[in-house]
Amino acid sequence: MVFAGFLLVTVVGSALLTIPYAKVGPGGATPDEAFFTAISAITVTGLVVVDTPTYWSGFGQAVILVLIQIGGFGVMVLASLIAITVARRLSLQARMNAAAETKSYGQIDVKAIILNIVKISLLFEAAGAIILFLWFWLHYGNSIGDAAWLGVFHAVSAFNNAGFGLFSDSIMSYVGDPVVSLTLCVLIIVGGVGFPVLIQLRRYWGTPRKWTMNTRIVIAATLALIPAGTIYITAIEWNNPATLGPLDWPVKILAGFFQSVQTRTAGFNSIDIGATDGATQFGMIALMFIGGGSAGTAGGIKVTTFAVLLFILIAEIRGDGVVNVFGKRLSRAVHRQAISVVLLAVGVIVAGTVVIMIETGLPLGPVLFEAVSAFATVGLSTGITADLPIASQLVLCLLMFIGRLGPITFASALALRERGILYQLPKERPLIG
């Protein structure tokens, strides 16, 4: 159901974007341009093959914004919200679908979870839109209408970690503007930690001892990865004349922090990604692959998956019989899930990278960066996406779709059936390592 829902909305969005009214100038967008843009918006990625502010009309930009919001909410969550509004109740099937998409542990509070997701999203998007509107209006002198549209579009895009912008150079013109940069960063971080974490923080903000293992892992990983990424990117790019080199040192730190946050699956850029050092791009690939929190607007394998594998590694090195995390024992089922997610993710990214390299003849570095950015629904680009042949762009579309749904959900949707094994085979241990 989740698979079909996202696919249906993508098709509808593509059809709307092919309408001539959605494009600036005569004629309409080509089907491949519309499809790529629609799937990039619904998967809240932000990769583009055309320049959003100059190619799409106001109507086209509005369609993109709606797709971003639907993608951020989740198709099943939106369907459940409509059911609640119209019928004031949810069927059991709707509860199960919404619970699967929001990673809920039971169906009892699904209605409350959905309403909380909507409230939290609209609250932060409204706050961000107001700040950006006032700043673009009062500080930069945009008209009230233009400032309002810029504020709303970028706030929704940032909270949903989409990375779509209404400036041809993304945020590069505002690299030294702390209001624009930090507002977008706060929205991205909050949207990227995941709705389960936000809901729990709302209930138990002052009592961390009541936080679940998931919340503790996400908060700890976020507080570790963003500063680490900031230091890494800023240090390598400090003297790069094409990126941070010409900037004053406070702006360098701000730009480094901004780009570190973007790798959490947002996709805005305040420096030229294509001009960054190869080591910087490699570090960004690692951060993009890890991603943000589960059941939110972020992508990647998720920080919880990465943390679980790290704790498993530590326990194995120490010779512990079980894996303990923050005073709790980790379920062995979680071990299998984490390993499956990572192996599927690596397999999908490698396959997509190889196909694009064979078709285009491009080197590994930029192709791998684009493939990981698509799978992790980040949207950062070295600048090659728009110039790729249609077949390679379709590969990126598939990577975005799989990345947004999650490799496990995607694989499950393609499985013929679920089956339970009623027997166990004898144990045997192969040599490892």
DSSP notation for 184-229: HHHHHHHHHS-HHHHHHHHHSTT-GGG--HHHHHHHHHHHHHHHHH
CA distance 418 to 115: 31
DSSP letter string over 320-333? -SS-EETTEEPPHH
Tell me whether residue 206 is exposed, middle or buried, using C-beta atoms within 10 angstroms of its C-beta: 0 to 12, 13 to 18, 19 or more: exposed
- CB-CB contact of 39 with 26 (8 Å): no
Give the Cα separation of 160 and 146 in Å (integer). Answer: 21
pLDDT in tens, 35-60: 999 999 999 999 999 999 999 999 99
Residue 76, pLDDT above cutoff 70: no
Tell me, what DSSP letter sits at residue 163?
A: -
256 has pLDDT over 90: yes
For residue 412, pLDDT over 80 is answered with no
Distance CA 172, CA 328 (A): 44
Q: Give the pLDDT of residue 418.
A: 59
Share of the chain above pLDDT 90, in %: 62
**Parallel, antiparallel, or unpaired for β 328-329 and 324-325?**
antiparallel
Scored b (16 or more CB within 10 A) or e, 286-320 reads ebbbbbbbbbbbbbbbbbbbbbbbebbeebeeeee
- Inform me whether the pLDDT recorded for 405 exceeds 90: no
> Given this model, what pLDDT does residue 107 score?
45
Which pLDDT score, from 0 to 100, does residue 66 have?
Answer: 94
- Beta-bridged to residue 325, according to DSSP, are 328
The token pair at 251 is: 């702006």
Average pLDDT (213-241) is: 94
- Residue carrying the six token digits 């749904």: 405
Single-letter amino acid code for the residue at 159: F
Of 130, 109, 121, the C-alpha closest to 160 is 121
The encoded tokens of residue 49 equal 């093959």
More confident residue, 241 or 421: 241
What pLDDT, on the 0 to 100 scale, is given for residue 100? 59
Task: Calculate what percentage of the chain has a pLDDT beyond 70.
Answer: 89
- Write out the E strands in 306-426: 324-325, 328-329
Mean pLDDT of 371-395: 94
Q: Mean pLDDT in the chain?
A: 88
User: Is pLDDT at 230 greater than 80 in this prediction?
Assistant: yes
Q: Is the pLDDT of residue 104 over 70?
A: no
Mean pLDDT of 306-325: 90
Residues 201, 203, 207, 211: is their CA dihedral positive or negative? negative
Residue 212's pLDDT is: 86
Question: Residue ranges of the alpha helices (H) in 269-331?
Answer: 278-290, 303-318
Question: What gap in Å lies between CA 277 and CA 169, rounded to an integer?
Answer: 19
Nearest C-alpha neighbor of 245 from the set 269, 281, 271, 274: 271
